[in-house]
Amino acid sequence: MESCRDLSNVCVIVFLSMPCRKHSFRCMDRIASSIPEGCLLPIEWAKDRKKDAEKPVLFVDKALEGRANLIAGANKENYHLKNLTPGKDFHPTAYADLRAVTGGEACPNCGKPLRIDTAVEIGHIFKLGYRYTESMGARVLDKNGKEVTPIMGSYGIGIERILTAAVEQSNDENGFWLPPAIAPFEIVVAPVNVKDETVRAAAEDIAKRLEAAGYDVILDDRDERPGVKFKDADLVGIPFRITVGKKVTEGTVELVLRSTHEVRDVRITAIVESFEELLRWPR
């Protein structure tokens, strides 16, 4: 027995449980509570689940079957036993596929490295079989005109989940942006000073042009500071913003792409054509 703080080569992976009602999980807790995590000794466990019913069972990962000279806990903190061999020094109750795979490991089928990504379930299919159709007495005629009980299935797409997935993929410290197809509005027109008649009139004209072209547009004509308007647009996911400010006297406004924060100067007279090019198709 020796102290072993560097356990980078430790590969013993076990799952412990109590096999009978006489031994509750409280008993298992008492066994493990006095032993630090990772230091439990895999000895004196049940070799046979029937014959050794009074002992906890020991499952060992299949990857260790046939291995030799392993490292295991010694029932004492920071101490471990070396050169343990399953089947010789300790006897697993059973071998099982317990270990969770990690990214980069070889695929058991093709050998290529595995890739693990975070995913969101946005739809699902359940085969319900005859459970409900039989209980409801549902019947249909098959292709031969014979009455049969149909197999029932459940198919669903989560509208809220689609929105959640979109927000998770397209966000930053200021808020988020949505694809135009599911955004509450595609474009927000934000005049920086609604009290300026020239700015206000230009903003209204731009909004009307885009609406007439078939775009979903909101005109933020509130008497608020520009920063407030920009932040509110960020918090509802509008993907494009037109800022109407001092450049309006030159016939120009700023087009902001929320996803990249890119700012483009666009002529007011060409505003519709700019979005047709940006979104790749006219309305």
The pLDDT of residue 20 is above 70: no
Per-residue pLDDT reduced to its tens digit, 42-55: 766 656 656 766 77
User: Residue 34's pLDDT is what?
Assistant: 62
- Long-range Cβ pairs for the range 50-53 (8 Å, 24+): 52/93, 53/19, 53/20, 53/22
How confident is the model over 140-159, as a mean pLDDT? 92
The pLDDT of residue 148 is above 90: yes
User: Which residue type does 242 have?
Assistant: I
Element (H, E) at 203: helix 197-212
| Residue 280, Cβ density class (10 Å: 0-12 exposed, 13-18 middle, ≥19 buried) | exposed
Best CATH choice for the domain 187-278 from the list 1.10.1240.10, 3.10.105.10, 3.40.50.800, 3.30.450.40: 3.40.50.800
- Given pLDDT bands bounded at 50, 70 and 90, which one contains residue 79? confident
Better-scored residue on pLDDT, 22 or 107: 107
User: Residue 117's pLDDT is what?
Assistant: 87
How confident is the model over 30-53, as a mean pLDDT? 64
The pLDDT of residue 216 is above 90: yes
Q: Pick the closest to residue 10 from 59, 64, 47 (CA basis).
A: 64
Residue pair 46/15 in contact by the 8 Å Cβ criterion? no
- The whole-chain average pLDDT of the chain stands at 83
Beta-bridge partner residues of 81: 72
User: Residue 43's pLDDT is what?
Assistant: 66
Per-residue pLDDT reduced to its tens digit, 180-208: 999 999 999 999 999 999 999 999 999 99
How confident is the model over 125-131, as a mean pLDDT? 92
How confident is the model over 239-244, as a mean pLDDT? 97
User: Residue 157's pLDDT is what?
Assistant: 86
The pLDDT of residue 132 is above 70: yes
Residue pair 14/59 in contact by the 8 Å Cβ criterion? yes
Q: What's the pTM value of the predicted model, to 2 decimals?
A: 0.57
User: Residue 30's pLDDT is what?
Assistant: 41
The pLDDT of residue 142 is above 50: yes
Better-scored residue on pLDDT, 279 or 225: 225
Q: Pick the closest to residue 17 from 59, 50, 52 (CA basis).
A: 59
User: Residue 25's pLDDT is what?
Assistant: 35
How confident is the model over 231-239, as a mean pLDDT? 95
The pLDDT of residue 13 is above 60: no
- Given pLDDT bands bounded at 50, 70 and 90, which one contains residue 15? very low
DSSP 3-state assignment of 187?
strand
Better-scored residue on pLDDT, 91 or 244: 244
Residue pair 170/177 in contact by the 8 Å Cβ criterion? yes
For 46-59, b/e burial (b = at least 16 CB within 10 A) is beeeeebeebbbbb
CA distance 20 to 209: 76
Q: Break the chain into its structural domains and give their ranges.
A: 2-96, 118-169, 187-278
